[in-house]
Structure 1
Amino acid sequence: MRQIILASASPRRKELLRQLIGDNFKVVESSYHEKPQPEMKPLEFVIYNSGEKAREVASVTSHGIVIGADTVVLCDGEILGKPHTEDKAREMLLQISGKRVKVITGLTVIDIDSKIQSSASETTSVTIKKMSGAEIEAYVKTKEPIDKAGAFAIQGKGAIIVEKIDGDYFNVVGLPLFELNKMLYEFGIDVLEIV
């Protein structure tokens, strides 16, 4: 089987890719740092970032397939980043409380050998329950919202603030497996044949 490289150090992406193809991949963290691109629409932004991550890793790798991904949470048209402090997490949770947000992931797959590159995106709507100040405080105290896009983790305790989702659950975690499987298949990788 061809070497598959995940251009991300995210433990959640690693776990999800393992669900799809077992341990048949390696992780090479991209050194690309995202910068705000105000002239880009959110969809363009995540595809651009996923492409930069994948290209950066492909440039230091001799062969194989590189997967790059970038996920953002959109609330009232504004891209929410990852809060690095409890205060920022509180502010963000207050902002998304009782709202419908969009989780958008850009995916880029590069075949280093043939130099072929493909990009796609996935969007999932997530309805966040109306939270009381005490609930926000309690969730922030778990430390889970820190460094999570939109200040919540659906795969953790954040599940209790998610009222409903419309779309790919795995996209909300950080790696849309349905879309990724389609892309890998186009590159000749059938995940059902990988043991």
Structure 2
Amino acid sequence: MLPLLLASSSVYRRELLNRLQLPFICSSPDIDESHRANESAAELVKRLAEEKARALADSHPRHLIIGSDQVAALDGRIIGKPHTFEIAREQLLAASGRQVSFLTGLALLNSDTGQCQVDCIPFTVTMRQLDIARIERYLRAEQPYDCAGSFKAEGLGVSLFQSTEGPDATSLIGLPLIRLVDMLLAEGVQIP
């Protein structure tokens, strides 16, 4: 089996990948993550996932490189990582009582053959009705400023959800393991 490389510095993705009980290393690619004009959210995350994997191909020949990227979208408009308390509060107020789509791009690049599998895994969250006090308590406790849409589903963020719908709950955290297993199996990787 070719060595696995996770093209990410995300602790959340690393924790998810550990679930597969496969050895892997991590390296963070340096790419431009800007949204291009007329690019849909699905196109964006697929492109970025593949670019992250390809950015490490030269420095990691003969590896299986996993790239992933996620955006949240409200009414078809991409809402990114808030980075600040104020922006996070605005994002959560806008999402209150509504559906938020999470789109996670996933790429598995065989840097030896150049073969790259790419997909986009959707997941929808219906939010509870949220008031300012609840949002601010959540933000102070969780500080989800590095999470798309201000949602930290692996923590207290789940308390903001009324319901969820999608093919793979791990995609909500940023690395769709069910689809990744399919890709790894297609590359001949034996999952324990």
Offset at residue 18 of structure 1 (A): 0.5
* One-letter amino acid of the structure 1 residue matched with residue 132 of structure 2: G
Between stretches 174-183 and 35-44, larger displacement belongs to 35-44
Partner of 2:52: 53
* One-letter amino acid of the structure 2 residue matched with residue 17 of structure 1: L
Offset at residue 145 of structure 1 (A): 2.0
Q: Is the 8 A contact 1:16 1:177 kept in 2?
A: yes
Q: How does 1:40-189 map to 2 (within 5 A)?
A: 40-167=39-166, 168-189=168-189
Offset at residue 141 of structure 1 (A): 1.4
Partner of 2:32: 33
Post-superposition CA distance 1:94-130 (Å, at most 9, x none): 1111111111111111101111111011001111111
Alpha-carbon distance in structure 2 between the residues aligned to 1:70 and 1:166: 19
SS of corresponding position for 1:59: coil
Offset at residue 143 of structure 1 (A): 4.4
Partner of 2:7: 7
SS of corresponding position for 2:19: helix
Offset at residue 162 of structure 1 (A): 1.2
Offset at residue 20 of structure 1 (A): 1.1
What's the TM-score, normalizing by structure 1?
A: 0.94
Post-superposition CA distance 1:134-193 (Å, at most 9, x none): 10111121242211101011110111001111112101011111111101111111213x
Alpha-carbon distance in structure 2 between the residues aligned to 1:38 and 1:86: 28
Offset at residue 62 of structure 1 (A): 2.1
User: Which structure 1 residue ranges, 5 or more long, are not aligned?
Assistant: none
User: Which structure 2 residue ranges, 5 or more long, are not aligned?
Assistant: none
Identity %: 35
Partner of 2:21: 21
Moved over 3 A (4+): none
Q: How many residues get paired?
A: 191
Q: Is the 8 A contact 1:145 1:153 kept in 2?
A: yes
SS of corresponding position for 1:178: helix
